[in-house]
């Protein structure tokens, strides 16, 4: 899962790297701002897929194959239908969205041209995420990695062909991304149909079942709300960043790619932990949940601390991967971002773990609360501090929000664990 999502980041990282090196800071700022918008928009069906994956894991733990296949049928059509509606609305609301983000005039055309192409790949992204979550839920994390690896390499190759060679500009990076997304989405769908026949719903399981749909919505809706709240908060921060102009936007675009790549392993560790918890929850193995929580916390904190050290020490070289050496102002702004936010990755590592835990035990509403606390604190502090101390205030607000949510999440666990898991005597 970690390797798969690291590869998935190459979609946008390849765009960012090539745009920054071959087109310039204006195009880089546009791609970075577009990334925040697309992350928010795709969070809806990503959250639905993740929530449905919990139900898949629970039914697999119970060895109830008939209900598992029925859940797969209902979840697939629900997620595809929602994706189609969102996709249609995006083409109609492109200009209002750009206006909401306070996109500067000098990059408006860049960003709109990029987004109108990227929007066409949403269905492919939805297909990939659904089948990847399904395969991971039943214990197969290798195949999503294989398809994603192939498409990620294709994305990089097409980027290098369309931008430096064909001179298609920012549209070329968008076309390369969409082609790669369809390769992964269609490829993993065909694999599932050909190789996972025991999970394909039978005729009697392809009938509407309100109980199954309700279970999917119960687990998915809160995960969807959590993902949407998290990314809407990021979108509001992006709007504030945009108001500082192209230099800060470009620095933020590069910095976000670096720290997203840096803490992505702990995000996927949290998702894998959610599958572990939900399967053991379905099987009634309380002791494994207790031991898993303790071990996962230790692993996540240790890994996050190590990555923080590396990012703080190598902030300059990391920024120069994306930014040309002659753009000094952008480089300095990005280095400041990494050294403030990157020093505190343990906060986000533990938070991802808590998200996975509460989703896994069937209490996704708690994850929503933690998200609201984390992002709410970040947004409020960013808007309060930015007018006083500039962009540094935006960067400072991030880790404060993480750690406040961590305190609440772990506090809730220790307060409630006796009633949730009566046999627990320790962490």
pLDDT tens digits for 243-296? 888 889 888 888 888 887 888 888 888 888 888 888 787 777 878 888 889 999
φ/ψ region of 421 (left if φ > 0, alpha if ψ in -120 to 50, else beta) reads beta
Instruction: Identify the pLDDT of residue 10.
Output: 65
Helices (H), 161-285: 169-195, 210-242, 246-283
Place of tokens 């294989």: 146
Query: Which tens digits make up the pLDDT trace of 155-166?
Result: 889 999 999 899
The whole-model pTM stands at 0.71
pLDDT at residue 234, rounded to an integer: 77
Which residues of the chain have a pLDDT value below 70?
1, 4-12, 226-227, 418-427
Euclidean distance between CA atoms 256 and 251, whole angstroms: 8
Which pLDDT does position 258 carry in this prediction? 87
Query: Considering only CA atoms, which of 176, 148, 147, 171 is closest in space to residue 160?
Result: 176
> Exposed, middle or buried: residue 337 (CB in 10 Å: 0-12, 13-18, 19+)?
buried
Tokens of 58: 């629970």
Q: Residues with Cβ < 8 Å from 11, sequence gap 6 or more?
A: 152, 155, 177, 180, 181
């Amino acid at each position: 899962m970690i390797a798969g999502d690291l590869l998935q980041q190459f979609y946008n990282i390849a765009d960012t790297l090539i745009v920054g090196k071959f087109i310039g800071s204006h195009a880089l700022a546009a791609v970075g701002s577009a990334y925040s918008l697309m992350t928010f928009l795709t969070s809806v069906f990503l959250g639905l897929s993740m929530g449905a994956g919990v139900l898949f894991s629970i039914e697999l733990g119970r060895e109830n194959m008939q209900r598992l296949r029925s859940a797969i049928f209902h979840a697939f059509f629900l997620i595809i239908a929602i994706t189609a509606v969102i996709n249609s609305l995006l083409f109609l609301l492109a200009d209002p969205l750009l206006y909401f983000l306070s996109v500067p005039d000098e990059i408006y055309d860049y960003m709109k041209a990029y987004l109108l192409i990227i929007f066409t790949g949403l269905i492919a992204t939805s297909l990939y995420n659904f089948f990847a979550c399904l395969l991971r839920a039943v214990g197969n994390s290798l195949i999503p990695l294989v398809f994603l690896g192939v498409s990620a390499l294709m994305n990089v190759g097409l980027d290098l062909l369309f931008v430096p060679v064909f001179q298609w500009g920012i549209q070329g990076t968008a076309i390369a991304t969409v082609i790669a997304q369809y390769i992964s989405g269609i490829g993993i769908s065909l694999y599932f149909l050909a190789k996972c026949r025991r999970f394909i719903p039978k005729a009697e399981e392809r009938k509407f079942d309100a109980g199954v749909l309700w279970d999917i919505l119960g687990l998915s809706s809160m995960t969807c709300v959590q993902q949407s709240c998290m990314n809407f908060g990021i979108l509001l921060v992006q709007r504030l960043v945009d108001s500082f102009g192209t230099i800060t936007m470009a620095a933020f675009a590069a910095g976000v790619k670096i720290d997203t790549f840096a803490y992505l392993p702990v995000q996927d560790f949290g998702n894998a932990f959610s599958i572990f918890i939900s399967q053991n929850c379905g099987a009634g193995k309380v002791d494994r949940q207790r031991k898993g929580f303790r071990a996962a916390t230790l692993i996540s904190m240790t890994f996050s601390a190590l990555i923080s050290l590396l990012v703080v020490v190598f902030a300059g070289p990391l920024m120069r991967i994306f930014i040309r050496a002659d753009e000094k102002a952008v480089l300095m702004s990005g280095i400041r971002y990494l050294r403030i936010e990157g020093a505190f990755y343990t906060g986000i590592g533990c938070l991802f773990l808590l998200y996975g835990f509460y989703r896994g035990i069937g209490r996704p509403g708690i994850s929503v609360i933690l998200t609201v606390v984390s992002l709410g604190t970040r947004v409020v502090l960013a808007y309060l501090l930015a007018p006083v101390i500039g962009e540094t205030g935006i960067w400072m607000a991030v880790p404060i929000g993480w750690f406040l949510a961590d305190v609440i999440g772990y506090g809730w666990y220790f307060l409630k664990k006796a009633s949730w898991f009566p046999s627990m005597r320790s962490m």
